[in-house]
Amino acid sequence: MEISERTRTLGTENAFVVLAEVNRLCAEGKDIVNFCIGQPDFDTPEHIKEAAIKAIKAGKTGYTPSQGILQLREAIADYLSETRKIDVKPEWVVVANGAKPFIGYVILSVTDYGRGHEVLYPNPGFPIYESQIRAHGAVPVPLNLREENGYEIDLKDLEDKLNERSRLLILNSPHNPTGAVYSRRYLEQIAEIVKRYENLWIFSDEIYSKIIYEGEFASIASIPEMQERTIIVDGVSKAYAMTGWRIGFAANEKLAKHLSRWITNTDSCAAHPNQYAALAALTGPQDDTRRMVEVFRRRRDLIVDGLNSVEGINCLKPSGAFYVWPNVTEACRLIGAEDSEEFRRRLLYDAGVAVLSDIHFGQKIEGEHLRFSYATSDENIIEGVRRLRDYISENMR
């Protein structure tokens, strides 16, 4: 029996692939310091758990409207209006099982299969962007992010790659995997370029919007003339330690009804009691989130300082999210590793340090990079950096 070409060539999120490898080694008794997975190592706050339990006991276990329960959409609209400094109405909001499904829903809503419609996306970037673009029959156009630009999109490159076939520009700030955060001034420059194209939408992936260490978060939707064409995508996974609860949301006046129809065709609706948990997250105390961000700030400084003390490694200090993206080109040369993927495998099997390599986040641009998630304890960061330092010093050629 044949498997479709679309399925055989479908990409994946390699963090989960490597995590399975790590779990297998741990099951065999190996001691692994894990920097792979992008999820907070905190428990969901108690008041959020209690809201879900209360909802279950109250019988909130059936289908909801595909768009999401009204109370949650009202809370999301208030939250987005306040934090993005724009006016968002509940009927413009759609709730889904996580923020990730909106990547596919939006591509399906603004491009047509086989028509040559192009989607521009950051490279390196979240790998599901490219896989969903290809799976839904659009043309992926990478926007290469370079270290010398602080991992911002090169505006000249953006101008050169936009054309009448361009239908969607994906922005991600704070950015996975580099931790870069786009300033309002920079977003204004992007907006000036985007305005030239009548049929160009913006997918603004803002899932790390509350995890910012310097300055304030800025959304391109807050730039004049941008809200109408911007799909704001956010959720409760990262800021409230709710990755497994699978509640994300999107907001756009024109696309909301179409996104809701895609949900009807796929998941029917987001999990009913979990929507009440998300409601409690957005409307309840924010102390746990603030404390978590401060812990991440301390860990960021710890891991950046640690990595920069290791011979052959250079690491920029990220302004948001909980990832670092060190340049390990010289380290690869020192130990005779062909590339970052060989370095990653050697670190895992020989040093007991689990990271991801740059090939897990798109096409290689220049140099060799690894991604470390510092959503782990101070002790793990210190031990992981120590193992990394020792491995390089003991294996220099």
Residues linked to residue 94 through DSSP beta bridges, in sequence order? 250
Nearest to 89 by CA among 74, 106, 99, 68: 74
How high is the mean pLDDT of the chain?
A: 96
Lowest mean pLDDT among 16-25, 162-171, 295-304, 366-375: 16-25
Q: How many percent of the chain have pLDDT more than 90? A: 90
Question: What pLDDT shows up at residue 136?
Answer: 96
Contact 375, 363 (CB under 8 A): no
Contact 289, 88 (CB under 8 A): no
Residues linked to residue 144 through DSSP beta bridges, in sequence order? 123
Question: What pLDDT shows up at residue 338?
Answer: 96
Structure tokens at 3: 């498997």
Beginning with the edge strand found earlier in the chain, give each strand of the sheet holding 166-172 in spatial order.
93-96, 248-251, 230-235, 201-205, 166-172, 118-123, 139-144
Q: How many percent of the chain have pLDDT more than 70? A: 100
Residue 13, pLDDT > 80, answer no
Specify the CATH number for 46-283; select among 3.40.50.11900, 1.10.10.10, 3.40.640.10, 3.30.360.10. 3.40.640.10
Per-residue burial over 258-290, b if 16 or more Cβ lie within 10 Å, else e, is ebbbbbeeeeebbbbbbbbbbbbbbeeeeebbe
Residue 112, pLDDT > 90, answer yes
Question: What pLDDT shows up at residue 38?
Answer: 86
Residue 230 and residue 92: Cα distance in Å, rounded? 12
Residue 106 and residue 249: Cα distance in Å, rounded? 12
Question: What pLDDT shows up at residue 369?
Answer: 98
CATH of domain 5-43+288-394: 3.90.1150.10
Residue 14, pLDDT > 80, answer no
> Domain spans of the chain?
5-43+288-394, 46-283
pLDDT average, residue stretch 290-297: 98
pLDDT confidence bin for 140, thresholds 50/70/90: very high
Residue 134, pLDDT > 80, answer yes
pLDDT average, residue stretch 216-240: 97
pLDDT average, residue stretch 165-172: 98
Question: What pLDDT shows up at residue 328?
Answer: 98
Question: What pLDDT shows up at residue 284?
Answer: 98
Kindly report, residue by residue over 43-92, the tens digit of the pLDDT: 999 999 999 999 999 999 999 999 999 999 999 999 999 999 999 999 99
Tokens 């993005």 identify what position? 84
> What residues have CB less than 8 Å from 249, skipping those under 6 apart?
68, 73, 76, 93, 94, 95, 96, 99, 233, 234, 235
